Structure 1
Amino acid sequence: MKLGVLTVLLSGKPFEEALAYLSESGVEMIEVGCGGYPGTAHADPDILLNNPEALEQFKNTIKKYNMTISALSCHGNPVHPQKEIAEGFHQAFEKTVLLAEKLGIQHINTFSGCPGDHDGAKYPNWVTCAWPEDYLQVLEYQWNEVLIPYWKNAVAFAKEHGVTKIGLEMHPGFCVYNPETLLKLRDAVGEEIGANFDPSHLYWQGIDPVIAIRKLDKAIFHFHAKDTKVDEANKAVNGVLDTKNYGDELNRSWIFRTVGYGHGTDEWKEIISMLKKIGYDYAISIEHEDSLMSINEGLQKAITFLKDVIIEETNDGMWWA
């Protein structure tokens, strides 16, 4: 396994300055935003796909700091009910795929997306219950008429350009938000669909990441190192569904934390060990969204914490037997 970082948190720095900082911090892999919600601060496909010199400079900068790209990220909602919004996210996805092809990368990270509840809808409709039965009809429409057809076409396009691992982040608000929905889409579309496994979004739903990793097994393509702290007092009163602003830390039922501040060393060692058991030996990519810490402090604490728990070396088999 190698320590990585989603470089979006360093969007305020030029790409080379960001890589120099990460290299000095002991980071080996980078996950780079190429559109959608992550933006294009460090990799703009409109430039890199049309300017060979810019592309070569981009690759040389990565090589200069002994980095490897773990994935290109273009998180968005390509099935948004407003067609112009959906098209923007879809174009970001396709451009990211084309850039991955140029760079020889197979991994793309994004969201599944969430449609509206009918063709004329204006906003996404995330279904969270099974009754009244109207909601089951919404799910039928979303999955069978929108989501599965979209991803069948998107996967076909990606495969044509050498991208065979589309890591969907299981994120509430989108149709794929837990292992069951991830596997449902994978079964319907193909093995090119997998997980960009982020335990932070699972913790507050009451999902055990260690057991979820065991369940997903080879469907895990990429891993986000991010934590969540559940406020038991607020949860006891209002449950875990929470629409208050992320900045209202004192009153929310949960908030994102840098790794180690939501769950301790023992928990993260169990996560890393289960990843090792299923054969995952790829990026442990830090996504820092801790609202209680600065960019630098939250990232540096995550790096220090993870260096102690990541299993870096290939084992020598059962050497004692």
Structure 2
Amino acid sequence: MKLGMLTACLPHWSLERIATFAASTGFERLEVAAWPRVGGREFEASHLPVATFTDEDAAATVSVLERTGLGISALAYYENNLHHDLERREGIHAHLRHVVDTAAVLGVPYVGTFIGRDNTLSVKDNMALGDRMLPALVDYAGERGVKLIIENCVMEGWHPDGYPGNLAYSPELWEWVTGLGFGLNWDPSHLTWIGIDPLETILPFAKHIVHAQAKDVELFPAKRNRYGFFGKVDKGDDPWDMGWWRFRVPGRGQIDWARIVDRLYEGGFEGTLSVEHEDPLWGGTDDKVTEGLRIAHHTLRPLIARS
């Protein structure tokens, strides 16, 4: 198991600057953000120009990795692959293929994305849509030696009423997702707030969990008693403000990381545990973000055996 970090929390830094920080902090791997641009929504970043990736870009990236001693565990483009707008959906698929192409050039084994959801359809109808639309993406990646992996983020902000906007939020749906040929980029924080014990999901899906994200969560049950499970009705300008929970860096929330890492080892996990920093208390400035990453490293490093 290796300890890594997702670069999206530092959207305005260059990949070289992030790599220098990550190596000096003690991280071993980077999960590199590869959205088309910075600022589509919070926590999107573009640290590799995948749509126009050249031999010179590849050489520069390899040089950064060699200098810092880091590896790339996965490229990250978490978007709605079942978007109801057909033009938007095709644009997402086109960019995802660019990300896959870049991963193949760099020898990166995984590209992370979302299933997504067409909000005009039921879950069952979305699954039927996915059966028609998604295998071509899996095949495109596989033909290039890359595996698409799905994060189990709920993406409640994509739905007008706070319902799941990414149909990979439960083990029931993982059976469908993995049946389509996707791997799992497993994240315990999302499971925790929707009432699923993350520890109990590891062994049943151990062969499919090829990458994992380390994000914590803090729950406020008294506030849930006011808003209900689906969160505030009036979220103002922030569709992600559920009102009764918030993401935290590992070590500042409710997840028992010692037991999680131990169970991952029990399941034979040999991939990267990648810190995904979305903690509002350790956000807002570069100094706070980097300190949040140091807190996460301090929490997780003692739990992972050094190779």
With the length of structure 2 as denominator, give the TM-score of the two structures. Answer: 0.87
- Larger of the two Rg values belongs to structure: 1
Alignment partner for residue 45 of structure 1, among 46, 50, 69?
Answer: 50
CA displacement 1:25-55 (0-9 Å, x = unmatched)? 011100001126665531011232xx21122
Partner of 1:178: 170
CA displacement 1:90-115 (0-9 Å, x = unmatched)? 11210111111111122111101101
Q: How does 1:1-321 map to 2 (within 5 A)?
A: 1-35=1-35, 39=44, 41-48=46-53, 51-117=54-120, 138-144=122-128, 146-163=129-146, 165-172=147-154, 173-187=165-179, 189-190=180-181, 193-243=182-232, 244=235, 252-263=243-254, 267-293=256-282, 294-313=288-307
Contact 2:249/2:295 (8 A) holds in 1: yes
Contact 1:5/1:286 (8 A) holds in 2: yes
Distance 2:133 2:240 in 1: 37
Deviation at residue 140 of structure 1 after TM alignment: 3.1
Aligned length: 285
- SS, match of residue 112 in structure 1: coil
Contact 2:80/2:117 (8 A) holds in 1: yes
Distance 1:229 1:283 in 2: 23
2:35 maps to a residue whose letter is G
Deviating 4+ runs (over 4 angstroms) = 36-40, 245-251
Distance 2:133 2:4 in 1: 30
Contact 1:109/1:196 (8 A) holds in 2: yes
Distance 2:241 2:293 in 1: 22
Deviation at residue 71 of structure 1 after TM alignment: 0.3
Deviation at residue 11 of structure 1 after TM alignment: 2.1
RMSD of aligned residue pairs (Cα, Å): 2.1
Contact 1:78/1:85 (8 A) holds in 2: no
- SS, match of residue 218 in structure 1: coil
Distance 1:158 1:249, change over 3 A: closer
Contact 1:110/1:166 (8 A) holds in 2: yes
Contact 1:31/1:71 (8 A) holds in 2: yes
Task: Give the share of equivalent positions with the same residue, in percent.
Answer: 30
Distance 1:162 1:250 in 2: 38
Contact 1:229/1:257 (8 A) holds in 2: yes
With the length of structure 1 as denominator, give the TM-score of the two structures. Answer: 0.83
Q: Which runs of 5+ in 2 are unaligned?
A: 155-164, 283-287
Distance 1:246 1:209, change over 3 A: farther
Q: Which runs of 5+ in 1 are unaligned?
A: 119-137, 314-321
Deviation at residue 246 of structure 1 after TM alignment: 9.8
Distance 1:245 1:68 in 2: 40
Deviation at residue 186 of structure 1 after TM alignment: 1.8
- SS, match of residue 79 in structure 1: coil
Partner of 1:318: none
Contact 1:115/1:147 (8 A) holds in 2: no
